[in-house]
Amino acid sequence: MFVFGCLCRSVNCFIPNAGGGNALWPTPSRRAEIWEAVTFSVLSAFIRRGDSFAHRPGFKLRLLCLLVPLLATEAVAQSPLVSSPTDAATPSKTAPPVETAPPPAPAAAAGIEPAQVPTIEQEPWYSLHKGRKFGVQLDLGGPDGGGLTALFRPYWWLRVNAGLAYNIMGVGIRGGLTAIPVRWVVTPSLNFDLGHYFNGDFTKFVTPSNDAERALLQDTAYDFWSAQIGLEFGSQEGFAFYVKGGIAHLSATVPGAEVSAYMNSKGTTSGTVTAADAHFSALLPCFSLGFTYFIF
């Protein structure tokens, strides 16, 4: 919690100053309500799977993987070092006072009641974003590889990215959408990306046994998409670091001529093999980490 609190203060993260809590920074009672809903949904989801599910290998590890991000989010939300304006207004016996109070909002300085200042989430969802809209994103992960993309944020809750993708096997293009349902100190995100690699040289990872196999593996274009959830640390209006994890789907069409040559090279001595185009697909876990920086 201390680390998260220091990180929050050092990167000037978004802390609304509207009193009484709001959707961006709920009151303690509201946070408890959210956490109760999270806990209930986790437990009920697994209980419905039956007792036998809990005895499957790796169950506890998977459950832990699910709960850690949620616990981290809740822990930050309850951190006294990054306590909400409501918390700051109510002196606590255990928590130290907030070292840096948020600067007064222009509206408050003009004599307007803080509760009247519309926060980002109180604006209609279709309202265009009034902050920085354009930025860049650099990330690295697997199996998608790395990417350098341009960012555009039409709405506060939606980011669009498009750019170049690269992995050791080749280069490609990719684009995607990121939805930010809420803005907290550690902001959760839902991400969907898709792309296309123009070539994929799998011989960098697999040693082919003959020329036909080399031809099959050496020049394989493929498509991919990924759906990931993420946690973003930092300012949504400036620099933010993120980690994401989820699933990725790869698909490729292998030319029939190359499949035929490969099959014939593998000992079909009694005749010849003629194959149509083959289709490769994979659904894999994926992860990525990177940063976003909004410039203007």
Partner 1 sequence: MTKNAIVPQAWILLASTAFVGCYAEIEDSSVSYRQTDVCGTPSACTGNGAPLTLDSVFIPAVNVNLGDSGVLTSSESKQGPITFNGSLILNKVTITITVTTPQTADFSGITSVDLRAALNGNNCAQIGDNCKSVASYDSTRDGPAIRTLVINGVGANLLDFASGNNKTVRIIAKATGNAPAPVSWNGDIDMNTAIKARGSFP
Q: Which residues of this protein are in contact with partner 1, per CB under 8 A?
A: 23, 26, 34, 37-38, 41-42, 45, 57-58, 62, 65-66, 69-70, 181-182, 188, 190, 227-229, 245-247, 254, 256, 259, 262-264, 266-286
The distance of closest approach from Cβ of residue 78 to partner 1 in the complex, given in angstroms and rounded to an integer, is 15
Least distance between partner 1 and beta carbon 27 (Å): 12
Contacts of 235 (CB under 8 A, 6+ apart): 11, 12, 13, 14
DSSP state of 66: H
* CB neighbour list of residue 51: distance below 8 Å, 6 or more residues apart: none
CB of 164 to partner 1, least distance (A): 25
Q: Which is nearer to partner 1, 51 or 99 (CB)?
A: 51
Q: How far is the CB of 110 from partner 1 (least distance, A)?
A: 31
DSSP summary character for residue 31: H
Nearer to partner 1, 207 or 269 (CB): 269
Q: Which is nearer to partner 1, 103 or 267 (CB)?
A: 267
Please name the residues in contact with 116: beta carbons below 8 A apart, sequence gap of 6 or more. 107
Q: Angle, to 10 degrees, between the axis of helix 256-264 and the axis of helix 211-218?
A: 150
Output the smallest distance, CB 223 to partner 1, in A. Answer: 15
Nearest distance from C-beta of residue 20 to partner 1, angstroms:
16
**Structure token pair of residue 166:** 């690269």
Bond into 143 cis (ω within 30): yes
Closest to partner 1 by CB, 135 or 242 = 242
Nearer to partner 1, 39 or 90 (CB): 39
The nearer residue to partner 1, 128 or 247, going by C-beta atoms, is: 247
DSSP string, 192-253: EEEEEES---GGGTS--SSHHHHHHHHS--EEEEEEEEEEEEE-TTSEEEEEEEEEEEEEEE
